[in-house]
Amino acid sequence: MEDILRIKVDEDLPLAVAQLLRSAGYDAETVLEEGLGGWKDNALWRVVQEEQRLFVTADKGFGDIRFYPPGSHQGILLLRPDADGIQPLIELMQKVMSAYDLRFLAGLLVVITPRGIRIRGKRKL
């Protein structure tokens, strides 16, 4: 049986992002569903790491490789829409899910924008 990717969805993303991940077979939990809303980034990050989950967020602070170097964590998907609202975030999540099996992005920093998908780090073979 294949390993199911474990994902944590940040509070700055709509529940629809977690539902999209779940419908694709991923084990997706949300920060809000677990009562972690409002936590400071470093405390939340510790929980994400303890649970060994890939982190999906729109918080650009998590895109700083000096603090979150690829290969030192389970992975970060950073959604960076050009417009506000729920739909642009959902569309970016759909974009990356249609391009990749998210398991192959584990351990990497992936920035998803309307213009493309940038991957930082090297996939371990």
Give the domains, in start order, of the chain with CATH numbers. 6-120 (3.40.50)
If you search the block for the tokens 């829409």, which residue do you land on?
A: 81
List the beta bridge partners of residue 5. Answer: none
The pLDDT, as a whole number, for residue 125 is: 45
Question: Among residues of the chain, what percentage have pLDDT more than 90?
Answer: 89
Q: What is the DSSP letter of 75?
A: -
- When pLDDT is averaged across residues 7-35 and rounded to a whole number, the result is 96
Give the pLDDT confidence of 66-82 residue by residue, as tens digits: 999 999 999 999 999 99
- When pLDDT is averaged across residues 30-39 and rounded to a whole number, the result is 92
- When pLDDT is averaged across residues 87-108 and rounded to a whole number, the result is 96
Cα separation of 37 and 101, whole Å?
28
